[in-house]
Structure 1
Amino acid sequence: MATSSPRLDLPYIQPSQAQKHVTHNEALQRLDILTQLVVLEVGAQTSPAEPETGETHALGSAPTGTWAGQAGRLAYWTGNAWLFVTPHQGWRAFDRSSGRAFVHDGTEWKPELSDLNNLGEVGIGTGADATNRLAVASPASLFSHAGAGHQIKINKADDGDTASVLFQSNWTGHAEMGLAGDTTFAIKTSADGSNWQDMLRLNPTSQQIEMAPDGTTRVRLSAAELEIDTPVTGSAVQSGTTDVTDGRLVRVEGAHAAALSHHTSYYSANGTTANIDTCDAGFAGLIRDANAGTWPLTPHGAFVYVTTQAIYTGAAVLQTATYGYHSSTPTLLREFRRVRANSGGNWSPWYEIYNSNSLVGPVSQLAGVPTGAVVEQGSNASGQYVRWADGTQICTNDDTAITTPAAAFTGTITKIDGDKLWIGRWF
């Protein structure tokens, strides 16, 4: 007959044994140790000086003092001496010092839940699997701060791998955002879960933001420029050629109407300080010719309609100055033009554009350059005269007694049938 039980090593009462109570009490004592096992410390190395009866320790690998030579065993204080018990695989114990449950693996005590580290799978409200090792089925999930803030981190091993958040409907993916195959943050969508298209890309290398709603980049924003490769429409854009609503973007076909709507009286932005020599392309409106700049006519405070139009790149512009505006009675129209070079920003002289209002009238010139009308006709007491812008003058008179030609004159005098004809120049 065996002398003790196979699992807990409880002593059996033998046939015809004297003092059976001793054996029985020893078995009860071992049961008191092992049933609902509680230890003061797992891995204890030094025995206490004054232990309490029933006190139990799970000894470490190198205990000293009265525990010497009992490595890995349980030490139980009976009140008179230490009782040592060898634990077996699967035994469980609660460690009062750490507040954790331990299980013996046949060699040593280990935390029963491994301190929640390196768990193979965790399912909350649902089952986890080898791919979805953490699975949660819940109306919501809360990640709150433990201090000032909180971060959710998704890490990938290499730039070519994927770190993303996938949004599904009935287990079919329709939207995904993150780093997919590179380090560019992208948001992509799919109608069927199979064919995907990047909608938005934020590239940290080029420092650009790209939008590609149909697979082709339509909008690209960088520190240098905003590139748009699609028509711009909507309530923030002009609806047509006559739309002059404040705050809307101007379309090419509506630029004229928009400009006129804001420059109907004079150039309001800086109408009193604008310098026509330094104005940018697009400058347009009524402005007084007393303002700064080189003017085609002597400034006299009149309103002049000035337009400055780009004709190449950089500073190159074509500028037009139109005289003749009056608030109640428009005067004769006179128009002048000049150009500004792209390199250096130098201006050409002003040149007048002749029309039906400026072709006939008082002629004048400065250093050989016409400054008035093309042809002038008149008369005085000396006779009649015709002048041209190049300085040519023809005077006639039928009085043979008159020897002085009409108006200022240098040239020859010819008599024709009693009349006198003067041909020469008026300057």
Structure 2
Amino acid sequence: MTATSKLALELLQNNAANQTLANLTFMTLNQLVQCVIVDKDLATPPGSPADEAAYIVAGSPTGAWSGQAGKIAYWSAAAGAWSFITPAKGWRASVLDELDANNVPKVYGHTGSAWALPETGGGGSGTGNIPQNSQSANYTLILGDAGKHIFHPSVDTTARTWTIPANASVAFNVGDTVTFVNQNGAGVITIAITTDTMRLAVSGATGSRTLAANGMATALKVTATEWIISGVGLT
């Protein structure tokens, strides 16, 4: 008898309508019990998904995911098709490609309108640790950088540009923070933003900011399309 891969739920083999409905129920339970998500930042379906692989559909989805933003999409190899589950407030899901400092997948919760990390960050570990993403090249933030610090090591003396993408392409949650750290002796960092607005705290000036060596700055998302940034060594 065929069974699901994750929870080993046995599927009925007769194609009668009631058994097909029962199998659909089993497949849905298979996804939602111990919900594990491969990726939550894709807007286009992956080309060769594994059987039963589940994804949270990102904003402005295309192709077979069109119109399914925010839903859980899972692939059935037997059916050769995607199925979609609409989440409800309070649902939780582990995201495999976003790991905390202990290499544990971050756990997102659903607010009733969107997926978000708990206030403690890092999947709710509450350790106070701010995970590091070290970059020695030009870099554009991804959703997984929320709650992290982007670190420019001293071994890279080249000036770099780190960009906060538009909400239309990467929808950080209001309240998300990203910290930028430029180590001693490292090249200057330009913190840029695409089509949204980034304001310097106190002055309210908009546009790109420069972070000197030994500088540290934190950007806080305050509306869907606006960030405020402050720090030391920031001009």
Same fold (TM over 0.5): no
Larger RCO (alpha carbons 8 Å, 6+ apart): 2
What range is the shorter-chain TM-score in?
Answer: 0.3 to 0.5
Which structure would you say has the larger Rg?
Answer: 1
TM-score by length of 2: 0.41
Q: TM-score, normalised by structure 1?
A: 0.23
